[in-house]
Amino acid sequence: MPRNILNLPDYAVLGVEEAEHDYHIQAEAILPPTHCQYCQSADLVGFGRREQLVKDLPMHGKRVGIYVSTRRMKCRACERTFSEALPGVDEKRAMTTRLVDWIGKSAIKKTFSGIAEEVGVVEGTVRAIFADYVAEREQHLKFETPKWMGIDEIHLTKPRGVVTNVQNNTLVEILRDRNKKTVADYLFRLPSRDKVELVAMDMWVPYRDAVLAVMPQAEIIIDKFHVLKLANEAMEKTRKSIRAELDTKQRRGLMHDRFVLLKRTAELTDQEALLLDGWIKNYPLLGEAYRLKEAFFGIYDAKSVDDAKRRYRDWHMSVTPALHPYFADVIRAWTNWQPFILAYFDHPVTNAYTESLNSLIRLMSRVGRGYSFEALRAKMLFAEGAHKHTLSRPKFERKQLEPVAVEETPRWGFYVPEMARALPDEIGRMPPAPRPAREPSTKTPKNYGADLSTLARLIEDGEL
Ligand SMILES: [Zn+2]
């Protein structure tokens, strides 16, 4: 049971007044100071009191102000006077420390203005507390530097750089912007950045230049997804320009054309294939664009860099003058980024998280309004329950059951050579798996960052 209405055991409540929106609570510290804060002498006398207003956690939906009757003391040894230190109070902020903690945590889930109103402080105070909270969290939360890094983009009021761990599908950092300096500064401060082997990214020059400057050992790979997107966009441009020339009746004949044209041939249903066939007969340019789009996707079936080069060369030669304007972006991207696009065929790294990241982007643009960049960043990076850990020691293994009694000397009763161990016994039972030698370890678990699909689910469920 709480000792008093405040549930602050170091304080005695002297009076409670309840108003429409607020509680006004009179209180004092139970124990007076015992030593001089300057000379540690115990020879103190009271020197009057002063009232200090301290904000506390909201209670029963009302704001809480504690009016602490603070003792002033005089030291007989050094003659100096001082106010008693208040336990559990952040005196600089005139708040209980539990309120400071609560504001810090809440600012991840609620808007600054909402918290300011709930507690009865100004928004600037909430912002300052939140900045301290984030700085403190960051001291404790260190993500592993990804061996395979992804650099992407997310729109939070404006485009921001997103750093991911490609192998673990986790979010590692959100950068204020996508400038070379911002990215390079971040990479430069990264612990063991020389261990980063691959960086998968979009065709964004500042990303590339930052990586080349700061992590020259890392191989840059243009994400397959971003390259193929260009081919889909070329398909779309062609489709739109053809449609623009048509009358209403003709357009009706092209129902669901976007959906069908962006599908891969192998994924078309019989009905869709039939539709496509008809359109191609009526609009040969559309058919040609579809063929070109599909052929471009086919480059990614290549088994080696040389194979990919060859496929691209053939593809490029097959672009007709009529379609060239629509596919110009694809060609330009390939030309400008060739070594990095081709690097994929040496290291076929794909982002399993692209879909999660996209839904995250969509969700954040919906729920992100009213939040500062810092809050959105912290929301995602510090999301409770989203972090992906590994322990540097093996998982807890349940105690093994005693093997059932067998007539003969059990095979696993003594050392069994590796080959014999995998054989079932006479009645078809497999011997227990050998236990690995275990080394007790006290190392802290590694944290790989916030899991992207968990994040998307948390936001979807309104838990973030
Ligand atoms: Zn003193």
Give yes or no for a contact between 98 and 57, defined as CB atoms under 8 angstroms apart. yes
Is residue 247 exposed (0-12), middle (13-18) or buried (19+ Cβ within 10 Å)?
A: exposed
**CA separation for the pair 310, 307 (Å, rounded):** 5
Q: Is the pTM here over 0.75, yes or no? A: no
For ligand 1, the distance from its centroid to the CA atom of residue 34, given in whole angstroms, is 11
For ligand 1, the distance from its centroid to the CA atom of residue 27, given in whole angstroms, is 26
Question: In the prediction, which pLDDT does 409 show?
Answer: 36
For ligand 1, the distance from its centroid to the CA atom of residue 36, given in whole angstroms, is 5
**CA separation for the pair 348, 346 (Å, rounded):** 6
Residue bearing tokens 């001082």: 82
pLDDT tens-digit series, residues 223-243: 998 999 999 999 999 999 998
For ligand 1, the distance from its centroid to the CA atom of residue 73, given in whole angstroms, is 10
Q: Which residues contact 361 (CB under 8 A, 6 or more apart)?
A: 154, 155
Q: Which residues contact 82 (CB under 8 A, 6 or more apart)?
A: 36, 37, 38, 72, 73, 75
For ligand 1, the distance from its centroid to the CA atom of residue 52, given in whole angstroms, is 23
For ligand 1, the distance from its centroid to the CA atom of residue 46, given in whole angstroms, is 13
For ligand 1, the distance from its centroid to the CA atom of residue 72, given in whole angstroms, is 13
For the chain, what is the largest distance between any 2 Cα atoms, rounded to a whole number of angstroms?
104
Question: In the prediction, which pLDDT does 459 show?
Answer: 80
pLDDT tens-digit series, residues 324-363: 999 999 999 999 999 999 999 999 887 777 777 878 877 7
**CA separation for the pair 282, 158 (Å, rounded):** 43
**CA separation for the pair 425, 242 (Å, rounded):** 72
DSSP state of 398: P
Query: Mean pLDDT: which of 1-5, 58-62, 365-369 is highest?
Result: 58-62
Q: Which residues contact 109 (CB under 8 A, 6 or more apart)?
A: 379, 464
For ligand 1, the distance from its centroid to the CA atom of residue 43, given in whole angstroms, is 8
For ligand 1, the distance from its centroid to the CA atom of residue 75, given in whole angstroms, is 5
More confidently predicted of 443 and 71: 71
For ligand 1, the distance from its centroid to the CA atom of residue 78, given in whole angstroms, is 4
**CA separation for the pair 218, 148 (Å, rounded):** 9
For ligand 1, the distance from its centroid to the CA atom of residue 53, given in whole angstroms, is 26
